[in-house]
A and B are shown apart, each in its own frame.
Chain A
Amino acid sequence: MCLAIVILAGTGGELLAAHAMKQSARRQVTSGSAVAMLLQGGFRLSAMWVGLMLQGLAFFTLLALLSWADVSFVVPATALNYVVGAAGSMMFFREQVDRMRWAGVLLVCLGVAFICASGL
């Protein structure tokens, strides 16, 4: 349950922050796209703040999870956030994730799990 919160809240938070930035970029097409204005536009949207709060929730749930579950299981398992991220961007942003990108995401996921597991 806690692992699901870590992965879903963490990736959900990133997706919401990405949504806010994409919205901000669309609004600034006519008025230039200076980085400061882009960021300002993003932080004016509630999606950004909800996203940051979800990432905070994911971080503190991870800390709680690490207090009773084996770190050798928890940290590599959080690499699943790449799979959830790809699925979430297909569902919410209508991105086209083809087979090659899925294969890449799964390899990255496997690689992160290897690196995290080897450091424990």
Chain B
Amino acid sequence: MNDSKKPSLGTALLLALTIVLSAGGNLLLSSGMKHVGSVETGPLIAVVRAFGRAIARAEIWLGIAALLLWFVCSLVLFSRIDFSYAQPASAVGYALVAVLGYAVLGEAVSAARWVGIACICAGVTLIGRTPPRTTA
């Protein structure tokens, strides 16, 4: 067992990058799709047109790139620290998306959502107090 209580600087930065890429990617996709407009189930041609409008937007491509990079960072992170540390710690992304949605996109954040954000932050704080790697 590795007794180190804190992740190395590189691993901590990778974890932070994973969280930011996940939140940023989802935010970019959300922002891009809001410009495309509501995609309803209906005639195939309408869905195809909406898809065409979506792929013409830079935010959509940036969002896809961010999420691809997020996937790669997650894989590298899994090779460095415990899965039971990395998986819940990256849930901070949920909280970050809600905060950014409120601050950047002007979305309403309900009391229940703030409670959820507080629970995630408290949970991640507890997880952060355990050793990031407990196996050889």
- List residues of A whose CB falls within 8 A of some B CB: 14-15, 17-18, 21-22, 24-25, 35, 38-39, 42, 82, 85-86, 88-90, 93-98, 100-101, 103-119
A-B contact count (CB 8 A): 136
Establish whether residues A113 and B79, one from each chain, have CB atoms under 8 Å apart when the complex forms. Answer: no
| B6-34 residues at the A interface, CB under 8 angstroms | none
Q: Which residue of B lies closest to A115 (CB)?
A: B116
Can you list 20 pairs linking A and B with CB atoms under 8 Å apart?
A15-B83, A18-B78, A24-B79, A38-B76, A39-B75, A82-B88, A95-B83, A95-B85, A100-B126, A107-B122, A108-B123, A109-B88, A110-B116, A111-B120, A111-B122, A114-B115, A114-B119, A115-B98, A118-B112, A119-B113
Query: Given A85-B87, A100-B126, list of 13 further CB < 8 A pairs?
Result: A18-B78, A95-B83, A95-B84, A96-B134, A96-B135, A104-B125, A105-B84, A105-B123, A109-B123, A111-B118, A111-B120, A118-B112, A118-B113
In angstroms, Cα B121 to Cα A22, docked, is 27
Establish whether residues A114 and B116, one from each chain, have CB atoms under 8 Å apart when the complex forms. Answer: yes
With A104-B123, A104-B126, A111-B119 in contact, is A94–B135 under 8 Å at CB?
yes
- List residues of B whose CB falls within 8 A of some A CB: 1, 72, 75-76, 78-80, 82-85, 87-88, 91, 94-95, 98, 110, 112-113, 115-130, 134-135
A111 CB contacts on chain B under 8 angstroms: 91, 94-95, 115-123
With A39-B72, A85-B83, A86-B88 in contact, is A104–B94 under 8 Å at CB?
no
In angstroms, Cα B98 to Cα A116, docked, is 10
Which of A25, A38, A89, A109 has a CB less than 8 Å from the CB of B83?
A89
